[in-house]
Structure 1
Amino acid sequence: MLGKTIQIYLTDGNPRGIRVADITSRTIQALLIPRSHLKEGLSRPEIEGVGIYLLFGETESSTKPLVYIGEAEDCKKRISQHNLSTSKINWNTALVITSKTLYFTKSHVKYLENYCYTSALNSGRFQLQNISTPTKSYIPDPVVADLMDIFETMKILVSTLGFPVFDIMSKKKTKHTLICEGKGAKAFGNYTEDGLTVLKKSSANLLVTPSASPWISNYRKSLLDGEIIFIKDGFYEFKEDYIFESVSRASSVILGRNSNGWSQWKYENGRTLDEVIRQDIS
């Protein structure tokens, strides 16, 4: 992949406040608004007009971050409506995508809304809050090609701002795949910039040890309730790939006890994650 120059403007100098991001050679811009800064965000010119928006949130019981994907002819008005709505959409950050050249039409954003929804669903990183699949508008093939180019820019900007909702997780076992096993459980994983991705069909011990920290049982319960894992043949089995931000959290959930993930996750040659990643670098 070629390098990209991304410009991020902090509208009030606060790195955790409102941010405007764009790739300097592209016409698409992304406006990120924390809900606590919504009043100021609604006054930004980037929120005006036709566009795509994403609402990000989380709950204590959710095993994945939440996202709602929508489109609007007037993004400012639509985000304001979401703020006042009594709907069950849980959000604390809005991210609005608009065109600096006012290129978008209603048909464009309807098509992109559907494509973004499908891409987020296929990615599996976020839990979608949309009640139904957005309708896809008819677009001529030459315009579809332009919109796919725009989507790739959107994907980069959204991920750069901290929400990799469209990024596909690696689903293949490779020579770099890690293994964590104990008492019959065997899990496979990949270590990436996101953390430790435990692969589908990995197994985890059904019981936790008496000395295990309470959070381990609680976390496993949330995975079970969220249908990320299920019971099969005396073990938990992962129904899908799942990202743990901490390698030790991943190994502790797999083994059912407190553990150091840097020593528990090993490559097929027997070397630990600690030996390959931390010690080799130092």
Structure 2
Amino acid sequence: MINQGRSLELFFIDGRPDGMLTAEVFNWTGHVLRVPRTQIIDGLARPEAGHTGVYVLIGEREGEALAYIGEAEDMRSRLKEHVIRKDWWEYAVLVTSASNNLHKAHVKYLESRLVEIARNVSATPLENGNTPPRSSLSEAAISNMEGFLETLMMVLPAIRVDMFLQKSRSPDIKNGGSASDPVGLEFEFSMPRHGLKATAILSSGELIVKAGSEARAAWIGDRKNNTHYFKLYDELVTSGVLIDHGQHRKFTKDYAFSSPSAAAAIVAGRSANGRTCWQLKSDGRTYAEWEEALIAAANGTEP
């Protein structure tokens, strides 16, 4: 099935990209409001803050990412409590219905599912205790809520909420790929000196390192200047995506990276140029050489 494009409308309420914003999708009943804690008074004054919905608090505690997921019939009152009792969160994301037609059972179901998804992804620890039980809904209502969630999972990463974004996935392989249709092209990254090898598939603009691929046993790179990659390596170890495997670590599942260099850094345990580290399994060309040839072919010229 071909994925269809979707149109997302973002409204920056005060004209600043780091300020309050709303997000809506055509033909979707949901409404999302993101509010920095520094603007929480203004955010709680908005009409949607008084609606029934679910919310996510996002921030850090002692330098580590942390989130809390909740639901309320009056989110304004609930968030006022969190302002007093929780000092770690930096911004809140409120999810409601534009027409305020979500009721208590709906939002309890959504809360439970969001906690389930966040814990399955394991990108951000939750302050929540046990996963709340799903509310009892009719078969039709469950279908509606799952459809609501599907669109919400597209909206949240667009407003920089990545904690629900599943990076462990199976590649969309289609006949092994080709130069003109690269989906499914297979790349390898080997470090003979250290006896490790990783394999990855290009799929939907991501490089998916395959389960069974090896990575260095520990991060040996600069932790100060490569904070993002070091934290990602640590997260993958903590979540069980990377496990001990003799002298190395091993990927337990397929994992998607947004760039070849991010994938290479995790495999190498340090910053690495993924465009030269990854090589086509079919002919040994580097990712950079393959990419340049692809661009040249599109322009009708030789590389």
Partner-residue secondary structure (3-state), 1:92 = strand
Partner-residue secondary structure (3-state), 1:93 = strand
- Displacement of 1:190: 4.8
Name the residue aligned to 2:84.
84
Name the residue aligned to 2:104.
106
Task: Note if contact 1:20-1:32 (Cα within 8 Å) is conserved in structure 2.
Answer: yes
2:235 equivalent to 1:226: no
2:148 equivalent to 1:150: yes
Which residue identity does 1:231 align to in structure 2? D
- Displacement of 1:275: 2.8
Pair 253,112 (structure 1): closer, same or farther in 2 beyond 3 Å: closer
Deviations 1:196-244 (A, max 9, x none): 55444321233777xx545579928835872543322111223455565
Q: 1:185 aligns with which of 189, 193, 196?
A: 196
Tell me how far apart the structure 1 counterparts of residues 73 and 89 of structure 2 sit (CA, whole Å).
21
Task: Note if contact 1:181-1:255 (Cα within 8 Å) is conserved in structure 2.
Answer: no
Name the residue aligned to 2:279.
266
Task: Note if contact 1:189-1:197 (Cα within 8 Å) is conserved in structure 2.
Answer: yes
Partner-residue secondary structure (3-state), 2:265 = helix
Which residue identity does 1:9 align to in structure 2? F
Pair 194,12 (structure 1): closer, same or farther in 2 beyond 3 Å: farther
Task: Note if contact 1:187-1:254 (Cα within 8 Å) is conserved in structure 2.
Answer: yes
Partner-residue secondary structure (3-state), 2:133 = coil
Deviations 1:222-269 (A, max 9, x none): 358725433221112234555656533442342245531111022322
Name the residue aligned to 1:163.
161
- Displacement of 1:191: 5.3
Task: Note if contact 1:185-1:255 (Cα within 8 Å) is conserved in structure 2.
Answer: no
1:113-128 aligned at under 5 Å gives the runs: 113-128=111-126
Partner-residue secondary structure (3-state), 2:89 = coil
Which residue identity does 1:101 align to in structure 2? S
Task: Note if contact 2:37-2:92 (Cα within 8 Å) is conserved in structure 1.
Answer: yes
Task: Give the structure, 1 or 2, with the largest relative contact order (CA under 8 Å, sep 6 or more).
Answer: 1
Name the residue aligned to 2:19.
17
Name the residue aligned to 2:69.
69
Tell me how far apart the structure 2 counterparts of residues 246 and 59 of structure 1 sit (CA, whole Å).
29
Which residue identity does 1:100 align to in structure 2? A
Name the residue aligned to 2:300.
none
- Displacement of 1:108: 0.8
Please list every run of 5 or more consecutive structure 1 residues that lacks an aligned counterpart in the other structure: none
Pair 274,81 (structure 1): closer, same or farther in 2 beyond 3 Å: farther
Tell me how far apart the structure 1 counterparts of residues 132 and 218 of structure 2 sit (CA, whole Å).
41
Tell me how far apart the structure 2 counterparts of residues 207 and 5 of structure 1 sit (CA, whole Å).
42
- Displacement of 1:179: 2.4
Tell me how far apart the structure 2 counterparts of residues 44 and 97 of structure 1 sit (CA, whole Å).
13
Which residue identity does 2:16 align to in structure 1? N
Pair 168,249 (structure 1): closer, same or farther in 2 beyond 3 Å: closer
Tell me how far apart the structure 1 counterparts of residues 270 and 149 of structure 2 sit (CA, whole Å).
43
Tell me how far apart the structure 1 counterparts of residues 123 and 164 of structure 2 sit (CA, whole Å).
8
Pair 4,235 (structure 1): closer, same or farther in 2 beyond 3 Å: closer
Task: Note if contact 1:208-1:256 (Cα within 8 Å) is conserved in structure 2.
Answer: yes
Deviations 1:69-107 (A, max 9, x none): 2111111122222222147xx532211111121211111
Please list every run of 5 or more consecutive structure 2 residues that lacks an aligned counterpart in the other structure: 174-183, 297-303
State, as a whole percentage, how many aligned pairs show the same letter.
Answer: 28
CA RMSD of aligned residues (A): 3.3
2:215 equivalent to 1:204: yes
Tell me how far apart the structure 1 counterparts of residues 61 and 42 of structure 2 sit (CA, whole Å).
25
Which residue identity does 1:18 align to in structure 2? M
TM-score normalised by length of structure 1 = 0.81
TM-score normalised by length of structure 2 = 0.76
Name the residue aligned to 1:27.
29
Tell me how far apart the structure 2 counterparts of residues 75 and 194 of structure 1 sit (CA, whole Å).
38
Task: Note if contact 1:178-1:189 (Cα within 8 Å) is conserved in structure 2.
Answer: yes
Q: Give the length in aligned residue pairs.
A: 276
Between 1:90-99 and 1:78-87, the stretch displaced more is: 78-87
Tell me how far apart the structure 2 counterparts of residues 24 and 169 of structure 1 sit (CA, whole Å).
26
- Displacement of 1:28: 1.2
- Displacement of 1:272: 2.3
